[in-house]
């Protein structure tokens, strides 16, 4: 399968799982579904990647990186799925996407780099129908918390990828996230966690939103540049809106669709500008290492 199709399949799986999870909310609530989803996904990923003892030897910071990733994953999942209780999925996915978008703009020093930020700000304004509708503050706070946790996880997972082969670190991080979310999930769901319907929904969400996209994205990143990957994942907000409409019957207004499109376009622009900025930095670094033409050819250049 072509790499872009892998990324798009992962995007669709993530948003479908988020839209499918509320089917079990009446019995187990968002906290119970999140706990079961993380637990099932962690077990499946451990069976897939089989993290061994040798992965931890010789690296003192490996445990700290995995534990931090698990904390951020648990916080992200709880905040995201609770936010879907208060806001349409498309809006939650768009606000969550501002986390990696902020990372893409981090370190910008050019005026042109402010254009994607302004476009994204306008998109967020349009999410409230251009100020014409009031979104629940609790849902907005949860979505912003999910965005912050997701941005932190991206930074931590970059270090985790250099310390583990394949998805070994990810598998252990998700198991740790499941353990962290267990007290909250058990307290809210109780015996409903053993309900066959709840277990079935959680299994579908775990495979669709965790096992499938993480595995597909890992394979896609071996074939395409990160720039292309970033552009393709910019479709997350649109996919969330589409599955929210199909699965949950959540209808968005015209300005809200425009806001989602604006955030996606801002992400694409930030990806291209960031790529150009890094390329310019590499060229400048290379020029500093090249000997000057005026240097005598028969003398070593210091």
Name the CA radius of gyration of the chain, rounded. 21
Show the domain range for 211.
3-286
Asked whether residue 120 is domain-assigned, the answer is yes
Asked whether residue 265 is domain-assigned, the answer is yes
| Whether this model's pTM surpasses 0.75 | yes
What's the pLDDT score for residue 102? 83
State the total domains in the chain: 1
| Whole-angstrom distance, CA of residue 99 vs CA of residue 103 | 7
pLDDT in tens, the chain (302 residues): 888 899 999 999 999 999 999 999 999 999 999 999 999 999 999 998 888 765 555 566 788 889 999 999 999 999 999 999 999 999 999 999 888 888 877 766 677 777 888 888 888 888 876 555 678 889 999 999 999 999 999 888 878 877 777 788 889 999 999 999 999 999 999 999 999 999 999 999 999 999 999 888 888 877 887 777 877 888 899 999 999 999 999 988 888 899 999 988 888 887 777 655 554 454 344 444 444 444 444 444 33
- Residue 191 DSSP symbol: G
Asked whether residue 295 is domain-assigned, the answer is no
Asked whether residue 23 is domain-assigned, the answer is yes
* Residue 144: exposure state from Cβ atoms within 10 A (0-12, 13-18, ≥19): middle
Asked whether residue 255 is domain-assigned, the answer is yes
């Amino acid at each position: 399968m072509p790499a872009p199709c892998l990324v798009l399949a992962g995007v669709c799986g993530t948003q479908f799982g988020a839209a499918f999870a509320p089917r079990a909310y009446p019995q187990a609530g968002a906290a119970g579904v999140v706990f079961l989803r993380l637990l099932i996904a962690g077990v499946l990923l451990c069976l897939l990647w089989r993290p061994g003892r040798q992965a931890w030897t010789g690296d003192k910071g490996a445990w700290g990186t995995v534990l931090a990733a698990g904390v951020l994953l648990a916080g992200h999942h709880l905040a995201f799925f609770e936010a879907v209780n208060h806001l349409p999925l498309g809006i939650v996915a768009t606000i969550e996407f501002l986390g990696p978008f902020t990372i893409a703009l981090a370190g910008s020093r050019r005026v042109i780099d402010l254009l994607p930020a302004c476009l994204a700000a306008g998109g967020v304004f349009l999410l409230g129908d251009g100020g014409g509708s009031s979104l629940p503050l609790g849902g907005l706070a949860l979505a912003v918390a999910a965005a912050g946790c997701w941005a932190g996880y991206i930074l931590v997972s970059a270090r985790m990828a250099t310390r583990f082969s394949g998805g070994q670190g990810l598998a252990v991080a998700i198991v740790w996230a499941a353990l962290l979310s267990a007290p909250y999930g058990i307290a809210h769901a109780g015996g409903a966690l053993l309900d066959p319907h709840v277990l079935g929904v959680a299994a579908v969400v775990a495979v669709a939103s965790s096992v499938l996209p993480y595995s597909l994205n890992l394979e896609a990143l071996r074939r395409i540049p990160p720039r292309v990957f970033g552009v393709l994942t910019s479709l997350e907000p649109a996919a969330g809106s589409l599955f929210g409409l199909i699965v949950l019957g959540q209808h968005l207004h015209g300005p809200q669709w425009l806001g989602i499109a604006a955030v996606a376009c801002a992400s694409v622009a930030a990806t291209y500008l960031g790529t150009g900025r890094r390329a310019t930095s590499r060229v400048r670094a290379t020029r500093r290492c090249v000997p000057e033409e005026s240097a005598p050819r028969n003398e070593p250049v210091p």
